[in-house]
Structure 1
Amino acid sequence: MPANRIFNTPPLGNLSEYRDPPRAKSHDRQDDPATPPKLKWSKTTQKAKRVVRVPDIPEPAAYRVEPLARTNGQGDKWRTKAMRSHRSPTLIWFTRGQGRLTVSGVTRGFGPHNLVYLPTGTMYGFEPIGQVYGSIIHLPQADVATLPDEPLQMRFTEVIQQNEITGLIEGLAREIADDRPERDRAMALQAGLISVWLERQIAVMPDYDLTPDASRRLVAAYTSLVEKQFHESHSVSHYAAALGVTPTHLSRACNTANGQPASKIIADRVQFEARRLLAETDLPVAAIAEKLGFHSPAYFSRAFHKAAGMSPRDYRKSL
């Protein structure tokens, strides 16, 4: 029985003909952690102004297979529900459980044996109802030529399909874990089998209308723009102007597509990145505030406390 295609949008890069708006001018940022911070002197006040330099976050391993059970505990709820994206193509394979999934600003349900494919930079989040099980698979950006250029959500009802994709994922996980000769080549070949399997499932899917309505196209374009610029602008008006609509119209479209206003999408994306940086790096709070586009560490701390119920420093201590 063919797989059912539940979610499909055009490639994010083609969702809007609008060019990215010019970025706001700010002081230069340098990411070399080995270079000591310099002091800039104002000609009028002759007071030293410290420029915060934010180092790059280290790139994760190219191939990764992680169990979903590790990321959906009560304390880690922010890791799944908040909007985020990945720097490489990603597959999510749900084997048990159900909930709500938002991809490119459009929300739908998910259940057991749902496979979600996310191209690089696709904003998404999911809210499980109870515990969910499965795997999240990260593939190298170099493999993008052999993978679809649009997000997909598929449901597989046949046991043979479920066993095939589970076996391919487990095979990749074994190659990642085992330090055997030709490991890199074996991982690449295993990932290639996964991409071939995915293309075969897409080929036998029933035809659907792949052109979403205007509001969903707008929301998808909006989330794509937010993903590129949330470090610089937290204003709905900024994104609405870039997309040629009013802030009210943009928020109405977001409410229709996923049940939340446009401002909540920005706030969720910034909040996720703030928590991730606090949890996974030792960057000072001031550096994180700078990286996320806040004008001052105090303003960042107030915004974080409002969302998380504690200060950034207290949050980091609680981990």
Structure 2
Amino acid sequence: MKNDIPVYDISTFEEYKNAGILVSRFGHYSKQYLHLHSAHRHSFYHMVCFTKGSGLQTIDFKNYPVLPGMIYFMTPGQVHSWAFESEVEGYIINFSENYFKSFLYNPLYLENFSFFDEHSGDAVLVLPEQTMTKVVSLFEEILHEGKESRPFDADLVKLLMLNIFIQVSRGLSLKQQPQTNSYNQTLLKSFKKLIETNFIELRFPKQYAELLYITPNHLNALCNDLLGISAGQLIRDRVILEAKRLLINMELSIAEISEKLAFSDPSYFIKFFKKQVDSTPDKFRKQDK
């Protein structure tokens, strides 16, 4: 079986592999790992804050400008690339999925932050000036802790990182999003989790409704109320995202991608993709080159 696009583990960064974390000034990182400018995936969490520079970055086939004051968060499995137009500076932290699990009583704590949900729309942000000042100060403290070995330095780095997450989240709260039923939000989060682990095998809302112990009508109404799309469309969007991730690997044929996504026939996959994207898989692949 041919490999997918490059997937980098935290162990790729040898000097940090034992700690499960990489912390660096972005300019140094960008020059040291030039191959990471091309499309690739991570098996770890990835956070970048830009303080200087311009250009374009692509995260799961959506383009975002590179701007001073911008911070973005990526979860394991997402595809991204950079195309810088000028010298870029800032901060980067990569950390493994298990980095906080032995430190926090609640192993799902990061799920409290909307920017670690790739579907939330909060993963790429331009920070308010006051928040940016606080965040830059915290990044500098983290870099300082890495210069020498001192008691509890690893724990302090985790605390400083959590402080960054909290400061960014507080900045987000200024958007004053309307209050929604917490039960419905929890149910939607559970539905998204189930899609993430089952979208290849389970394609119909009724299958997920059974797992959630609710009716398909309830699930569909929930998605329409909170997201403005149907439950079925949310499932189809996840299938299409994975198809796009696979299509940028030029070594995989359309038939192989169809098989990976459990379509019974390549022609059915092509029809499905064209209906959702308004482009054939082959045209999409050529456009993304």
TM-score w.r.t. the length of structure 1 is 0.51
Contact map agreement 1:168 1:193 (CA 8 A) in 2: no
In the alignment, which residue of structure 1 is the partner of 2:203?
A: 234
Contact map agreement 1:93 1:113 (CA 8 A) in 2: yes
Q: Summarize the alignment of residues 1-319 of structure 1 with structure 2, pairs less than 5 Å apart.
A: 33=1, 58-62=6-10, 87-91=43-47, 93=49, 138-145=94-101, 146=103, 148-153=109-114, 157-165=130-138, 167=140, 195-200=158-163, 213-318=182-287, 319=289
* Structure number with bigger Rg: 1
Count the aligned residue pairs.
Answer: 211
Contact map agreement 2:239 2:261 (CA 8 A) in 1: yes
Inter-partner Cα distance in structure 2 for 1:286 and 1:168: 50
Cα distance change of structure 1 residues 89 and 202 upon mapping to structure 2, 3 Å threshold: closer
Cα distance change of structure 1 residues 117 and 56 upon mapping to structure 2, 3 Å threshold: closer
Shift of 1:310: 1.9
User: Which segment is superposed worse, 290-299 or 194-203?
Assistant: 194-203
Contact map agreement 2:191 2:212 (CA 8 A) in 1: yes
Cα distance change of structure 1 residues 200 and 218 upon mapping to structure 2, 3 Å threshold: same
TM-score w.r.t. the length of structure 2 is 0.56
Cα distance change of structure 1 residues 229 and 164 upon mapping to structure 2, 3 Å threshold: same
Cα distance change of structure 1 residues 278 and 140 upon mapping to structure 2, 3 Å threshold: same
Cα distance change of structure 1 residues 190 and 273 upon mapping to structure 2, 3 Å threshold: farther
Shift of 1:162: 2.8
1:143 alignment partner AA: Y
Inter-partner Cα distance in structure 2 for 1:298 and 1:92: 40
2:253 alignment partner AA: P
In the alignment, which residue of structure 2 is the partner of 1:72?
A: none
Shift of 1:280: 3.4
Q: Secondary structure at the match of 1:260?
A: coil
Inter-partner Cα distance in structure 2 for 1:163 and 1:273: 34
Cα distance change of structure 1 residues 306 and 267 upon mapping to structure 2, 3 Å threshold: same
Shift of 1:220: 0.5
In the alignment, which residue of structure 2 is the partner of 1:44?
A: none
In the alignment, which residue of structure 1 is the partner of 2:59?
A: none
Q: Secondary structure at the match of 1:143?
A: coil
Cα distance change of structure 1 residues 308 and 89 upon mapping to structure 2, 3 Å threshold: same
2:111 alignment partner AA: E
Q: Secondary structure at the match of 2:279?
A: coil
Q: Mind listing any 5+ residue stretches in structure 2 that lack a counterpart?
A: 11-21, 28-38, 53-67, 79-89, 116-126, 174-179
Inter-partner Cα distance in structure 2 for 1:290 and 1:141: 29
Contact map agreement 1:286 1:297 (CA 8 A) in 2: yes
User: Which segment is superposed worse, 148-157 or 297-306?
Assistant: 148-157
2:44 alignment partner AA: S
Inter-partner Cα distance in structure 1 for 2:265 and 2:200: 14
Contact map agreement 2:45 2:97 (CA 8 A) in 1: yes
Percent identity between matched residues is 27
Higher relative contact order (CA 8 A, sep 6+): 1
In the alignment, which residue of structure 2 is the partner of 1:74?
A: none
In the alignment, which residue of structure 1 is the partner of 2:14?
A: none
Inter-partner Cα distance in structure 1 for 2:250 and 2:269: 17
